[in-house]
Amino acid sequence: MSEGNLRKAFSDVSERIISEKDEQEQEGEQEVKEVKCDCCSIEEECTLQYIDKVKDLYSGKWVCGLCAEVVTERCRKRPPAATRMQEALDWHRGFIESFNSTTRVNPKLYFTKSMREIARRSHQNRTQKFSLGSKIARTTSCDPRLET
């Protein structure tokens, strides 16, 4: 065997080993794991890097994309606080638990509860509108009189 062929065989083997090692490293980074949302219990398949990134953003909890949008929106609407992310997560988790305990178990009960809440808010809005304005006090009688 000539020296040129030997070098070529060595370089081919080393390239193959290096490429296999690179593929294994990339597969390790792209390893997919099934993870369960801490709010709604939906399971998704995600890479380990993505799971770590989401946990860093949401106080160590993994939340799915839909719950993440709700929690982020809730944080944006509330005044800034040190624990607002945790408060938003707790609020959303409570909302999901309430939804699962009423709507899915008994849709008619949920509908009745919703209508009651709408009526309560409507009543509160009406009473607030009338109580906010300043009342005009009558200083004289509204009865017009002609004096002769």
Closest CA to 38 of 10, 59, 7, 22: 59
pLDDT in tens, 12-71: 666 776 776 666 666 555 788 999 999 888 999 999 999 999 999 888 889 999 999 998
Q: What is the DSSP string of 80-103?
A: P-TTHHHHHHHHHHHHHHHHHHHT
78 touches 87 (CB < 8 A): yes
The pLDDT score that the predictor gives to residue 11 is 60
pTM for the complete prediction? 0.52
User: Hey, which residues does 33 pair with through a beta bridge?
Assistant: 46
CA distances for 140 relative to 133, 143, 144, 148, angstroms: 21, 9, 10, 19
Percent of the chain with pLDDT over 70: 64
Residue 117 and residue 109: Cα distance in Å, rounded? 12
